[in-house]
Amino acid sequence: MKKKVLLGMSGGIDSTVSAMLLLKQGYEVIGVTFRTYDSMKESCFAKEKGCCTIESVMEAKHNAERMGFEHHIVDFRDTFRRCVIQNFIDEYMSGRTPNPCVLCNHFIKWGEMLSLADELGCEFVATGHYARITERDGHLYLTTAADTRKDQTYFLWMLTEEQLRRTLFPLGDYTKDEVREIARAHGYDKLATKRESQEICFVPDDDYRTFLRENVPDYKERVRAGDYVDAAGNVLGTHAGFVNYTIGQRKGLGIALGHPAYVTHIDAATNRVTLGTNEDMYATSLRFKPHGAALSRWINALGLTAKVRYRSAAVPVIIENEGCMRFATPVWGITPGQSVVVYQDDLLIGGGIIS
């Protein structure tokens, strides 16, 4: 009997090629596309943003039908709003910079989707993420993808070992160029050349400031002009409200100090935004809120590296306790609200939210 797998489909090339590979491997595939947010502005259609358009949903359904397998469209808007969007709003309104993709993977793609898999009798779930799963010493670990440029393990650090046992990543051993060639070979030329969006799916035009203004009921009362200050607390000028800034921001500050200025700290309680130099952006330690118990085994272990941003390089690190880590060399732009993800060679061993 074929093993059944529930495949998350966005209508894009990665999940579509994942379906092709799973079918070739002999799995019985059932596709599912999530309805998580209504964002149907013209800019959304023009940019063909991955999961926000009706076209993308229907393209996923069409691709499933073309390959001859069952497909479902499931409404997860309530859960998405409660678990992902509300966190996004709360974090920004507290002066932090959230990473909604991490929570979406945790609550939707490996929360709601696994529950749906149980209902449909599927042993596995699969997605088009670029990641791999490896067994070491009787434990399963996320492992970086063959295509290191596309590796997405950074966004998957909240997955548990139990979830990994039911997960398939068909693209883990492929490069993006190889995925495009597979699509072309199966007659999906348009899909192979379709632009990919790096934007947040529920934020039109990637404009989080407008999104907050439109979705925080008491925005005007909570977001007011305040002081720019330096590290010593000296007032430098006036800013337009703390939520309009992120750590490391240099452009759009609206202040001239005679040298390039960067946002180094945001204090929502006092409505103060601290400015400094590029040198002030570097730090050698951080505090974080870990998720799960995996990191407890790695306190003071050698050979670990950590990433504080998706595109940043992994830097050698020592986990001093379950809430603090120290880097071997200074790291630029450590940002509260973002994820710090810890690796040993190519194994992802845990992570946390930078506090």
CA dist., res. 65 & res. 67, Å (int): 5
83 has catalytic annotation: no
Backbone angles phi, psi at 242, to 5 degrees: -60, -30
Tokens 């035009």 -> residue: 205
201 has catalytic annotation: yes
| H, E, C per residue of the chain | CCCEEEEECCCCHHHHHHHHHHHHCCCEEEEEEEECCCCCCHHHHHCCCCCCCHHHHHHHHHHHHHHCCCEEEEECHHHHHHHHHHHHHHHHCCCCCCCHHHHHHHHHHHHHHHHHHHHCCCCEEECCCCCEEEEECCEEEEECCCCCCCCCHHHHCCCCHHHHCCEECCCCCCCHHHHHHHHHHCCCHHHHHCCCCCCCCCCHHHCHHHHHHHHCCCHHHHCCCEEEECCCCCEEEEECCHHHCCCCCCCCCCCCCCCCCEEEEEECCCCEEEEECCHHHEEEEEEEEECCCHHHHHECCCCEEEECCCCCCCEEEEEEECCEEEEEEEEECCCCCCEEEEEECCEEEEEEEEC
Q: Determine which one of 52, 104, 122, 324 is catalytic.
A: 104
Q: Determine which one of 51, 83, 101, 201 is catalytic.
A: 201
> Which residues are designated catalytic?
104, 201
